[in-house]
Chains A and B, each alone.
Chain A
Amino acid sequence: MLSVLAERLRQKHRTIEYPLAPPVLPDRLRGLPIVDASRCPSGCQACAEACPTDAIRLDPAGPVIDLGKCLFCTECTTACPQEAIAYTTDHRLAVRRRDDLLRRGDAYRLAEKLDAKALRLFGRSLKLRQVSAGGCNGCEADVNVLNTVVFDLGRFGIQFVASPRHADGLLITGPVTKNMVLALEKSHEAVPAPKIVIAVGACAISGGPFAGHAEQSNGADDVLPVDLYIPGCPPHPLTILDGLLRLLDKLPEPSIP
């Protein structure tokens, strides 16, 4: 018993300061990409052709990256002869509308908070049921990690619960395999209204690497209405946390980077 207590003292307090202090992120993190269309040689398609999920479209004004399809890999940045696309370490990526995931130049509209009525209901206590529907255990693992002492999700009033009947919403990972459609629909029905749906990861938003396969649904919003999209493959835990805190209006003002 004494050794347990001694070890507890030695392990110290380990919860991160974020969101009261800036997050600590790896210097090589591939976060929000920036596109400098002025560098694009005319007619060049190299980035779009290299992209494994066809997330890049070439508009007259320059490349447009669909972050809902983007795997945040290095194929486009490697293929580009002019370094017109580069990743920043900005982990903030969550949006409320599917169209907001289109990244053109510098424009990007991050997720807004829930409306006043929903915020009154969920703002101080949000219970979520997680459903993996074809997820590769990457997104699942980085959602699960929010429950550790490092992130201590409970301090924000957010908790993952075992039954959809105890939940205020679903957090979905995976492209929604055909074999999981019925189970997902039943889980959603079992959540009492009003309810929210959060799609985490490229798969849950667009099908990710599996987009177009007959065995899946190209993401959750083919099956259910989605209220929050958190892109990434998988998103960094702080990207997921940032999305949840934006939705619940829990980030300190002015928002720190």
Chain B
Amino acid sequence: MTMTAHALPAVANATPLPLAEVPDWSFTAFRAAVLDELAAGNFLSAFFGVPDGPDAIRFYAVVTRPDVGTIGVAATRVTDSFASLTPDAPQAHWFEREIAEQWAVVPVGHPWLKPIRFHPSYREGHDAWRRPSDHIHPGVTDFFRAEGSEAHEVAVGPVHAGIIEPGHFRFQCHGEEVLHLEIALGYQHRGIERRLVNGPDKRTIVYMETLAGDTTIAHTTAYCQAVEALAGLTPPPRAHALRGVALELERLANHTGDLGALAGDVGFLPTASYCGRLRGDFLNTTAELCGSRFGRGLVRPGGVAFDADPPRAARMAERVAVAIRDLNGAHLLWNSVTVQARFEGTGVVSQRAALEVGLVGPAARACGVERDVRYDFPTGIWQYTHIPVAVLQTGDVFARAYLRALEIERSAAFVSSQLANLPEGPIRRPCELRLAPDSLVVSLVEGWRGEVCHVALTNADGRFSAYKVVDPSFHNWFGLTLALRNQQISDFPLCNKSFNLSYCGHDL
């Protein structure tokens, strides 16, 4: 690592930092320091703007360092434009598009500067593309085009064939081969981030539960960690354990569903059928705890709202044990030659590409990138217990599928052992949520799709002056684009399922 005169300060996950201690550098120094960090193998977990007076935007960069378990934060002030980081650090590309769209400041030199959500900028009368605000429509932009007598274009969505969220996919093809896939999102944009400003209020927690509804536990835990840190509050050990159980049940349900969907996409119906049912068994285990299959109402600031007394914990453990036994039916997948022929070598993302674009979660771990918040930045129950991190090397559909199978096994073992040994004591500390003023906190949680990153900034009154949400899908949609390069277009559904990304988590 080349050391510069500037180094980003090191804070731990979910540990508040007074805003006065966030380095406020010239843009040149900020850019150099962030690029140095990323060149050293660290990750850009968040990069966003907040208003700073009528004509300027303050940028915050959040760099995570898995090797040492610390988080670096830096800030700078920008007016109309800035020198894009993307040419030197591709990880920044989607963040800079978001910054341009939200704040109408232009990253000069960005190789592919386009909107990502298709909404008017938050600075009225300003637009990075100089569009009038009534001329902004979803999917209306320049798309990459392949020209040639045998080149053709396939457009899909926003409404898709299945029961699935909307998004638009544009394929540039030569025959059956995909030269490039461009993904246009924003159809799910509900305007949540702007409504989080001046919180927390009575709606804040339900926004967190619905940022991405299949990731309710990870997002609400990230939020609770953030406000608990700002309020100087530590949840009781029993709450940590129950949050951990709920987080892993969320992973178990979604990974199981994904294995079933992948099997269905290659026409292997036994596994598709069994996993469809077993996914529900994991959701029902969460409902056994809190009444909601998605964990709505469970995670609350100060702890959790529902307890599992010994008979209930035993019933939950039994449900998981039975489901895991039946999941052996899913493993027929690995012994079927026809399935393996479709999985292996399909949708390959190289480790280098995964690192360059900053993939997270199973999509990254399937490419040999050892990155897992539970292990690298432990909070809550993860300070006391570890789940071995699963890593595979091939970066193809097979790796993304098999990685889920490995994680299912390990999460189930964790859930069983926690439910058998829940710490004694209360499940929630009373809290009034008086947040430290003029502070910043970064809160990371390993959701089932990967790193969930929340960044809360408070004003002098201890209210949110900004609240940034980075869903794992924000990092990973471009991974799907890379996976489709030179693939058969008929393999798109399979590649897509192998990522199974969130539209609403991205669009917010």
Contact = CB atoms under 8 A, between A and B. Distances in A.
Interface in B157-177: 158-159, 161-166
A236 B190 contact: no
B467 to A, nearest CB: 15
Nearest to A24: B284
B190 A215 contact: yes
A141 B214 contact: yes
B163 A71 contact: no
A135 B202 contact: no
A218 to B, nearest CB: 12
Contacts of B490: none
A52 interface: yes
A58 interface: no
Q: Which of A178, A179, A187 has most chain B Cβ within 10 Å?
A: A179
Interface string B286-308: 01111111101100000001100
Contact of A26 (B119, B276, B284): B284
Nearest to B201: A52
Q: Which of A28, A213, A216, A236 has most chain B Cβ within 10 Å?
A: A28
Nearest to A5: B270
B375 interface: no
Interface string A97-135: 000000000000000000000000000000000111111
A82 interface: no
Contacts of B332: 3-4, 7
B294 A148 contact: no
A7 B329 contact: yes
Interface string A133-151: 1111111111111011110
B206 A140 contact: no
Contacts of B187: 133-134, 177, 179-180, 183
A87 B165 CA distance: 30
Interface residues of A, number: 65
Contacts of B216: 138
Nearest to A211: B203
B335 A233 contact: no
A88 to B, nearest CB: 12
A3 B212 contact: no
A7 B328 CA distance: 9
Contact of A140 (B164, B189, B274): B164
Interface in B134-172: 137-138, 158-159, 161-166
Contacts of B414: none
Contact of B163 (A4, A52, A140, A174): A140
A74 interface: yes
A142 B296 CA distance: 14
A234 B163 contact: no
B210 A138 contact: yes
Contact of A52 (B166, B203, B306): B203
A29 B280 contact: no
Given A132-B166, A149-B276, A162-B161, A53 B206 contact: yes
A13 to B, nearest CB: 11
Interface in A191-209: 208-209
A125 B387 CA distance: 48
Contacts of B277: 14, 148-150
Interface string B194-213: 01000000110111011111
Nearest to A201: B213
Q: Which of B279, B291, B335 has most chain A Cβ within 10 Å?
A: B291
A30 B280 contact: no
Contacts of A229: none
A227 interface: no
A75 B119 CA distance: 32
Contacts of B209: 209
A73 interface: yes
B205 A138 contact: no
A177 B190 CA distance: 6
Given A50-B202, A137-B213, A137-B214, A131 B191 contact: no
A180 B137 CA distance: 10
Interface in A149-185: 149-150, 160, 162-164, 174-175, 177-180, 182-183
B302 to A, nearest CB: 13
Nearest to B165: A132
Contacts of B161: 162-163
B118 interface: yes
A145 B276 contact: yes
Contacts of B436: none
Given A73-B297, A215-B190, A132 B273 contact: no
B165 A135 contact: yes
B121 interface: no
A177 B158 contact: no
Nearest to A203: B210
B291 A29 contact: yes
B189 A11 contact: no
Nearest to B502: A137
A154 to B, nearest CB: 13
27 contacts: A14-B277, A29-B291, A30-B292, A73-B296, A73-B297, A130-B163, A131-B166, A132-B163, A135-B188, A136-B210, A136-B214, A137-B212, A138-B294, A141-B294, A142-B293, A148-B273, A149-B276, A149-B277, A177-B189, A179-B119, A179-B186, A209-B209, A213-B195, A215-B190, A216-B190, A216-B191, A236-B293
Per CB-CB distance, the 6 closest pairs between chain A and chain B, nearest first, are: A136-B213, A138-B213, A28-B291, A215-B191, A162-B161, A148-B276
